[in-house]
Chains A and B, each alone.
Chain A
Amino acid sequence: MELELKQIRNMLLVRVKGEMDMLVAEKLRKEIDRKLETKKITNLVINLEKVTFIDSSGLGVIIGRYKKISSLSGKMYIVGASPSVRKILMFSGINKLISMYNNEQDIINI
């Protein structure tokens, strides 16, 4: 898994590449939480465009970050999920909590 974290004003953009399973869940959680705990972030955007696989361990990281950013009165967005990843996100019901967009530009425009 490759991870890119970019802060744009009060937004944290997280670009994930590879497979989101139990092997990478802990690293992903720690990296995002470190930013959320040390920077003033009110919008968290997770870009899953280059994620090829996700299971419940990966979903757990997403829902956990959603709870965290919500507790900071912030918002979370998911962008770029491929059809196979989107299917799992929707199956889990995450789409009812977190808005999903096609690409990063869509977030900037809202």
Chain B
Amino acid sequence: MNMKNYVRFEFPSVPENVSFARSCVGAFATQLDCTLEEIEEIKLVISEAVSNSIIHGYENQPHGKVLVMATILDDRIMEIMIEDQGIGIADIKQAMEPSFSSEPGRMGLGFTFMKSFMDELEVVSQPGEGTNVKLKRCFSVKDKEALA
């Protein structure tokens, strides 16, 4: 499968950059043949993954770096990678359980949103070695094309 286009950017782990990251990938996703609702879903999962890096990976400290890369593979497939060099996740299975959160007052829905709104989710992490989240979304064939 050929890569058609990509965007790659890195930023410090400050909350102001969560909005920037989701808006940037959301704008990039408009190159795909997808609906506004689908773009909103992409923005949500970026927000969740980047927030996780800042809140959990870097424990709300601003010195960390978050890397985001979004790749368009063809007109219907987008791959997204969010990477940090934070404290990592000791138990990935537990972290992905709905309503689990290591932080009090949080809903623990981040990975649930990622799983629900994306077609594939892969998390690679070890304590002390950061976290790499890979997401893939295949957009459906639009009616106008199906009927053509």
A-to-B contact residues, CB < 8 Å: 19, 21-23, 29, 53, 55-57, 59-60, 63-64, 84, 88, 91-92
Name the distance in Å between B64's Cβ and chain A's nearest Cβ: 14
For B18, what are the chain A residues with a Cβ–Cβ distance below 8 Å? 21-23
Q: Contact check, B16 vs A23: say whether CB atoms are below 8 A apart.
A: yes
How far is A101 from B107 in the complex, measured between Cα atoms in Å? 23
Q: A21-B18, A53-B47 are in contact. List 8 more A-B contacts (CB 8 A).
A: A23-B15, A23-B18, A53-B40, A56-B48, A56-B51, A91-B116, A92-B107, A92-B109
Which of B37, B105, B108 lies at the interface centre, i.e. has the most chain A CB atoms within 10 A of its CB?
B105
Residues of B contacting A64 in the complex (Cβ-Cβ under 8 angstroms)? 105
Closest approach, in angstroms, between the C-beta of A52 and any C-beta of chain B?
Answer: 10
In the complex, which residue of chain B has the Cβ closest to the Cβ of A94? Answer: B107
Check B19 against A23 for contact (C-beta < 8 Å): yes
* Interface size counted on chain B using CB atoms at 8 A: 22
The 7 A-B pairs of least Cβ separation, nearest first, read: A23-B15, A56-B109, A55-B47, A22-B51, A60-B106, A60-B107, A56-B107
Q: Which residues of B contact A56 (CB under 8 A)?
A: 48, 51, 106-110, 113
Q: Are A21 and B51 in contact (CB under 8 A)?
A: yes
- B15 contacts A84, C-beta separation under 8 Å: no
Residues of A within 8 A of B136 (CB): none
> Nearest Cβ distance between residue A48 and chain B, in whole angstroms?
15
* Interface bits B34-77 vs A (CB < 8 Å: 1, else 0): 00010010011001100100110000000000000000000000
How far apart sit A92 and B99, CA to CA, in the bound complex (Å)?
10
Q: In whole angstroms, how far apart are the Cα atoms of A107 and B107 in the complex? A: 26
Chain A residues with CB under 8 Å of B105's CB are 29, 60, 64
